[in-house]
Chains A and B, each alone.
Chain A
Amino acid sequence: MSRPAQITDIQHGRLALRSGVMIYVGVLVVLPLAALVQHGLADGLLGLWRAAATPVAVQAMVLTLWTAALMAVINAVMGTLTAWALVRYEFPGRGVLSALVDLPFAIPTLVTGVMLVILLGPQSPLGGWLAAQGMPIAFAPPAIVLALLFITMPFVVRAVEPVLLEQDPAEEEAARTLGAGTWTVFRRILLPPILPALLSGTIRSFARALGELGSVIVVSGNIPYRTLTAPIYIFGEIESGQPQTAAAVSVVLLALALVLAFAARGIERATGVHNG
C-alpha cells in the first residue's frame, strides 16, 4: 500500500472476513437444519404430532430417553469419581488412564458397537455365560446403556477435572483446622464448586446419547418396541422412503437437544467453564 493504512481499510477487511464466515456457517449449518425443520413442520404442528406420535415412534423415544438417563446417572457418579482419582491421587498407570478417558472421542462409534458385540454377543464367552444366567446383554437394553456409557465417558470427567484442579487446598485445610470431618469437607467445600460442571457435563452426555446411532445400531438388534431407539427409528423411516415421519421425529429430537445444549452452555457461561 503506497498510502498509510487507514482504519477504514482495516474495517473493510474485517467485514469481509466476517461475511465469509457467516456465509460458510449459513450454508453449511443453517441451511440443512432449516430444511429439516421445514420438512418436519410441513403439515404444521398437528401433522408433526401425528407423524411423531405413532406407537413405535413413541416407544423408541421412551427407550432413548430412559437408557440415556440411566447412562447419565451412572456417568455422573463414575465420571466424578474418575476425575477425583485422576486429579488428587498419584498411582502407577495414572497417565495412561487419563489418556484412555479421551479414547471415546477418537474411536468411531461403529467400531465401539462392533467391540461390544464381540465382547457380549451370545457367541462370546462372557455373553454366552450371561445369557445362560438369564441376563442376555446383547440385543437388549443393557447393551444400549453400555454402548452409551462408552461413547459419553469423557464428558463428565473432562468437565469436572478442571474444577478440581483449580481448587485451593487452603480452603480444605482451613475447614479441617476448624474441625470438619472428611465427609463434611467433601459435602460443603469440595462438592459445591463441582456441581455446576458436573451438571453441565452430565447434560451434555445425555444430549449426546440421545442422537447416538453407530454403536447402538450394531449392539441393540434394533427390535421395535424393545431395542429400537429414536435415531434408529429415524434411520428406518428414511430407508423405507418415509422422509416425512423421519423429519417429524427428527424435529422433536432436535428441539430437545437444543434445549439441553442451551441449558448446558448457560451453566458453563455462568460459571466460566470451557467444554473442551
Chain B
Amino acid sequence: MGIRVAGLTKHFGDFLAVDDVSLTVESGELVAFLGPSGGGKSTILRIIAGLETADAGTVAFNGQPADHLHPSARGVGFVFQHYALFRHMTVAANIAFGLRVQGASRRRQAERVAELLALMGLAGLGHRYPSQLSGGQRQRVALARALAPEPKVLLLDEPFGAVDAKVREELRHWLRKLHDEVHVTSIFVTHDQEEAFSVADQVMVIHRGRLEQAGTPDEILDHPRTEFVARFIGEANVFETRVQGGAGQVGALRIPVEGIADGTPVCLVVRFYDLKFWRDDQGCARVVRMTTLGDRVKVEAQIDGAGRIFSQFPRRSSLLHGIAPGCRIHIEVTLARAYAATK
C-alpha cells in the first residue's frame, strides 16, 4: 500500500517539529527516515500511524485520506524503540494480540503465532514473558507482533536503538530478510547512516522538520542536494569561503569550484576520502596528528593560514606511505561539493 504525505506541519507548543513535509512511499518499498535526533522523523512517523495529529497536511494510504481514522483503524503495524511489549502477557499472547482484538479464531491465532515465531527465529519461546528475554529477542517479538495482523504498512521508530552494536547488526539483517519475504510497505526511523544505507531501498533525510532529500542510498551519497545532506552523510570537512578565479581559497589550499560565479560566498564540503596528498616540503599543510581507528587511519593536518583538514584512509592505503606527524604535505581535493552560502 502506498503512502502519500502532503504539506504535513506540526507544532509542539512553540516548537515547529514538522515543517511542510511532503513525501511518497511506493507500495512495497522499504524506506529509511534518516536524520539527527530531534529532527522530526519520529513525529512524522507517528502522524502517519495516527498516534499524533498534524496541525496541517494530509496522510493518504493508496490515495484514500486517512487523517480522520483512529490508529486502530489504519491497518498500520508499529514497532516502538523500547518494544512496548505487553508485560503481563506471554510472547505468544503478545503476538496474537492484534488478531485477538479483531476477533480471529483461536486456531487462526495459534497458526499465525507459530508462523511468526518460526519466521523470527523465536521458536520455543512462546510461553516466556518479555522480562525473561534479551533485548534482541524482545525486539523480534515486537516485530512479530506488529506483523501478525498482516498490516498494510509497517512503521518502525528507531527499532534498533535500544540494543548493542552486535545485536543491532543481526536485527538489521532480520528486517531486510523479513521485508524480502513479506514485501510490506515499511518505513523505519534511524539516526544511524550505516543502518539506513545498508537496509533501505530509499533514504529520506529529514532535518529540523524538513525533508532535505529523498533518493536511493547511492543518490544521497554521491549527489547530496543540500549543504546539510552533504555535511551529515559520511564525514566531511566544511569550509566557508568566496569563489575567486573558479576556485575557493582556504588558506594555502586551493579547491577548484565549477559553475558558481566569482565573488559568491560558498560552503565547500569535502568528504574525508575525496582528497589526495603526498609529502611535499613546500606543501600547503602540515600533518598534526594521525589516529588509528581500527582498520582505518584518520589524518589531521593544519592548512597554512586556515584551519584543520581531516581525511580518512584504510590502513594499508598507499597514500599513507611516508606520512608522519610533523611532515608537510601537498593536498589535492578530488571532489568538492559547493553550496551557495545560506547565511
Contact = CB atoms under 8 A, between A and B. Distances in A.
Within 8 Å by CB, do A and B touch in the complex? yes
Interface of A: 4-10
Contacts of A6: 68-70, 73
Interface in B241-299: none
B209 interface: no
Interface string B41-76: 000000000100100000000000000111011000
Interface residues of B, number: 7
Given A5-B73, A7-B53, 15 more contacts: A4-B69, A4-B70, A4-B73, A5-B69, A5-B70, A5-B72, A6-B68, A6-B69, A6-B70, A6-B73, A7-B68, A7-B70, A8-B68, A9-B70, A10-B70
Contacts of A7: 50, 53, 68-70
Contacts, number: 19
Contacts of A10: 70
A4 B69 CA distance: 7
Q: Is chain B's interface secondary structure helix, strand, loop, or mixed overall?
A: loop
Contacts of B68: 6-8
Contacts of B73: 4-6
A5 B66 CA distance: 11
12 contacts: A4-B69, A4-B73, A5-B70, A5-B72, A5-B73, A6-B68, A6-B73, A7-B50, A7-B53, A7-B68, A7-B70, A8-B68
A16 to B, nearest CB: 16
B59 to A, nearest CB: 12
Contacts of B69: 4-7
A8 B67 CA distance: 11
A8 B69 CA distance: 8
Nearest to A9: B70
A15 B68 CA distance: 17
B76 to A, nearest CB: 12
Residue among A6, A7, A9 with most chain B CB within 10 A: A7
Nearest to A10: B70
Residue among A5, A6, A9, A10 with most chain B CB within 10 A: A5
Contacts of B72: 5
A4 B72 CA distance: 8
A4 B74 CA distance: 8
Nearest to B75: A4
A92 to B, nearest CB: 32
A5 to B, nearest CB: 4
B313 to A, nearest CB: 42
A4 B73 CA distance: 5
Interface string B180-213: 0000000000000000000000000000000000
A9 B72 CA distance: 12
Interface in B74-125: none
Contacts of A5: 69-70, 72-73
A40 to B, nearest CB: 42
A8 B68 CA distance: 8
A47 B73 CA distance: 62
Contacts of B70: 4-7, 9-10
Nearest to B70: A5
B75 to A, nearest CB: 9
A8 B53 CA distance: 12
Contacts of A8: 68
A10 B68 CA distance: 11
Nearest to A4: B73
Nearest to B73: A4
B221 to A, nearest CB: 40
Closest 10 CB pairs of A and B: A4-B73, A5-B70, A5-B73, A7-B70, A5-B72, A10-B70, A6-B68, A4-B69, A7-B68, A6-B70
